[in-house]
Amino acid sequence: MCSWHIALAQINPTVGALAENAEQMLRAARTAAACGAQLVAFPELALSGYPPEDLVLKPHFLSDAAAELQRLAAALPPELLVIVGFPEAAAGKIFNSAAVLHGGKRLGAYRKMLLPNYGVFDEKRLFTPGEKPLVLEAAGVRIGLHICEDSWLLNGAPGRRLREAGLDLLINISASPYHHRKLAQREEVMRKMAQSLRAPLACCNLVGGQDELVFDGGSLWLAADGRECARARQFDEDLLCVALAPAGGAKPALNPDQVDVLPWSGPAVAAAGCAWPEPVLAAALDETAEVYAALRLGLRDYVEKNRFREVVIALSGGIDSALVATLAVDALGPARVHGVTMPSRFSTQDTFSDALLLAQNLGIECRTLAIEKLHQTYLEELAVCWPGRAPDTTEENLQARIRGTVVMALSNKFGWLVLTTGNKSELATGYCTLYGDMAGGLAVIKDVPKLLVFELARWRNRQGGAAVIPPSTIDRPPTAELRANQKDSDSLPPYAVLDPILERYVERDWPAEQIILEGYDAATVRRVIKLVDQNEYKRRQGAPGIKITPKAFSRDRRMPITNRYHEHTRA
């Protein structure tokens, strides 16, 4: 029996851009056909982009998607069998489906059976689950279809019902969002499914940024025993080309009560002279490189897909703004990135010099707009409101709010997107100012703990040539510079203590007593938990940020603002 040439088209669609996404698929399909492909698979909901959220509740959106799918089917190379993820309206219901296209028309569709409803996922509210797995059958070859979550539950109906189907291949089309260590987790899940089905498995995963989510690609081909045979690049579009050598032989009868069978004529003979590429096993990125790539891609796609031309960043001379500016230049190029440094009387010459040196190293424009006069004017005008009261955080936060006003003025005047610079440790504890340093359009490192900020900065400085981020910026104790001789450690536990407590409380949902049992000071643990709980109202008003941890604020962790369950006072 001859080999089948199969291509996994790892593309970067945009939510709602139906015609653009279809055109992108058409280009990829033509490229695959020119290489000799006979079957091409695209990711989950590639036509609409993922997640389409409440767009699928609009009947006109679904009808437009159906029309675009029909146009795509007619334009595809007629010899190709093409699998496309799309939102399907049928019988008054909405399905997350995979269309099977061939010969200019739609042969059928598989409907996702397991709808995730945890973490960032909200599919049960939007879609109806499918009822049966689908098996494509041609010339004695059987190919099963899964959509993302269908392969994550080993003994769930989508896998269990295919176990005795005599599959030659399972194709899983996915939109599996990134968090650190997700690639290894996803590959282990797919490995177990391949071994369970005793069949090779092809997983075509989405790539690109969508609001707070990043999809890392890493599409995969596994042998029946779970061995990795091919892998696409991470965080980049790719076409993974593989050859399937069907086992042949007698097949067990398929039970129509358990699976739907879609017969088709079989693959066309590959065009003469086509040089089928050798399968590539792209190396997986190490953990720090992976996080940096995710942030860079999420930033780039947020800017590009929302049609911003340029961005602006308040450069303080600190490590957070330095990392954000460096990511922005790596994502967009220096001509599209603007810096502004806004010193006050509490700014030191060291931080001011580092801000200017960073801009020089990155090759970006940097304006200096001192805020001292503005701050003094505020203090004078407001003094009549609180005669006799001693200075406190009110006067400190005014500086941050003045800076927020300045960067938003630049945004309004020039159309620049403001990138905020707060990290996860600060946002978790409320060590940030509403309408001040939180003001902006995208919080690039919102889900990056402070210790990881340092690690990413050091990693970036090791990537060839001279250090981009001034070493003194990394080595200097972190400070907000809103009062004389201020340091973050005046208000927060050391980050080496704070970040592990935050990880256990926020990402693992541990109670205080369990964290304390690991050796952390009880008073410190309860204080940190109190800060997290008290600042939900602040986080709710912040800009969206790129998710890189297993549990990010907003997308994953949705806590009530009005909440009298005080965990720091328990037990």
Q: Which of 59-63, 312-316, 454-458, 479-483 has the lowest mean pLDDT?
A: 479-483
Whether residues 247 and 295 share a domain: the answer is no
Q: Which domain holds residue 164?
A: 4-265+275-283
CA–CA separation, 422 and 314 (whole Å) = 11
Q: Which of 23-32, 48-57, 548-557 has the lowest mean pLDDT?
A: 548-557
Catalytic residue numbers?
44, 112, 148
Residue 486 pLDDT exceeds 80: no
Provide mean pLDDT across the span 67-89: 96
Residue 501 pLDDT exceeds 80: yes
CA–CA separation, 537 and 529 (whole Å) = 15
436-475 burial code (b ≥16 CB/10 A, e <16): bbbbbbbbbbbbbbbbbbbbbbebbbeeeeeebbbeebbe
Query: pLDDT by residue (tens digit) across 402-417?
Result: 999 999 999 999 999 9
Query: pLDDT by residue (tens digit) across 139-180?
Result: 788 999 999 999 998 888 888 889 888 899 999 999 999 999
pLDDT recorded at residue 273: 56
Provide mean pLDDT across the span 368-380: 93
Instruction: For residue 248, give the amino acid letter.
Output: G
Query: pLDDT by residue (tens digit) across 24-52?
Result: 999 999 999 999 999 999 999 999 999 99
Whether residues 357 and 420 share a domain: the answer is yes
Residue 272 pLDDT exceeds 60: no
pLDDT recorded at residue 310: 97
Q: Is residue 11 part of a domain?
A: yes
Q: Give the predicted TM-score (pTM) of the model.
A: 0.93
pLDDT recorded at residue 7: 95
Whether residues 318 and 186 share a domain: the answer is no
Contacts of 102 (CB under 8 A, 6+ apart): 78, 80, 81, 82, 264, 265
Residue 246 pLDDT exceeds 80: no
Q: Is residue 209 part of a domain?
A: yes
CATH of the domain at 166: 3.60.110.10
Please, are residues 282 and 233 in contact by the beta-carbon 8 Å criterion?
yes
Indicate the average pLDDT of the chain: 92
Closest CA to 242 of 35, 401, 382, 530: 35
Res. 483 pLDDT band, cuts 50 70 90? low
Whether residues 124 and 250 share a domain: the answer is yes
Q: Please state the domain count of the chain.
A: 2
Closest CA to 318 of 297, 348, 361, 363: 348
Residue 129 DSSP symbol: P
Q: Is residue 452 part of a domain?
A: yes
CA–CA separation, 375 and 397 (whole Å) = 10
CA–CA separation, 321 and 313 (whole Å) = 7
Residue 485 pLDDT exceeds 60: yes
Q: Is residue 536 part of a domain?
A: no
Query: pLDDT by residue (tens digit) across 288-306?
Result: 999 999 999 999 999 999 9
Whether residues 352 and 221 share a domain: the answer is no
Residue 38 DSSP symbol: S
Whether residues 131 and 84 share a domain: the answer is yes
Provide mean pLDDT across the span 243-272: 79
pLDDT recorded at residue 299: 98
pLDDT recorded at residue 481: 60
Query: pLDDT by residue (tens digit) across 206-234?
Result: 999 999 999 999 999 999 999 999 999 99
Whether residues 227 and 332 share a domain: the answer is no
Res. 480 pLDDT band, cuts 50 70 90? low
CA–CA separation, 169 and 202 (whole Å) = 7
Q: Is residue 210 part of a domain?
A: yes
Instruction: For residue 286, give the amino acid letter.
Output: D
Whether residues 258 and 299 share a domain: the answer is no
Whether residues 127 and 183 share a domain: the answer is yes
Res. 271 pLDDT band, cuts 50 70 90? low
Whether residues 113 and 33 share a domain: the answer is yes
Whether residues 292 and 238 share a domain: the answer is no
Q: Is residue 517 part of a domain?
A: no
pLDDT recorded at residue 287: 93
Res. 326 pLDDT band, cuts 50 70 90? very high
CATH of the domain at 447: 3.40.50.620
Please, are residues 414 and 510 in contact by the beta-carbon 8 Å criterion?
no
Beta-carbon-side half-sphere exposure of residue 541 (alpha carbons within 13 Å) = 13
pLDDT recorded at residue 253: 86
Provide mean pLDDT across the span 186-205: 95
Q: Which of 250, 283, 316 is the last residue of a domain?
A: 283
Residue 328 pLDDT exceeds 70: yes
Res. 341 pLDDT band, cuts 50 70 90? very high
Q: Is residue 148 part of a domain?
A: yes
Q: Is residue 567 part of a domain?
A: no
Whether residues 257 and 319 share a domain: the answer is no
Residue 280 pLDDT exceeds 60: yes
Q: Which of 283, 317, 339 is the last residue of a domain?
A: 283
How far from chain centre, in Å, is Cα 52? 14
Res. 250 pLDDT band, cuts 50 70 90? confident
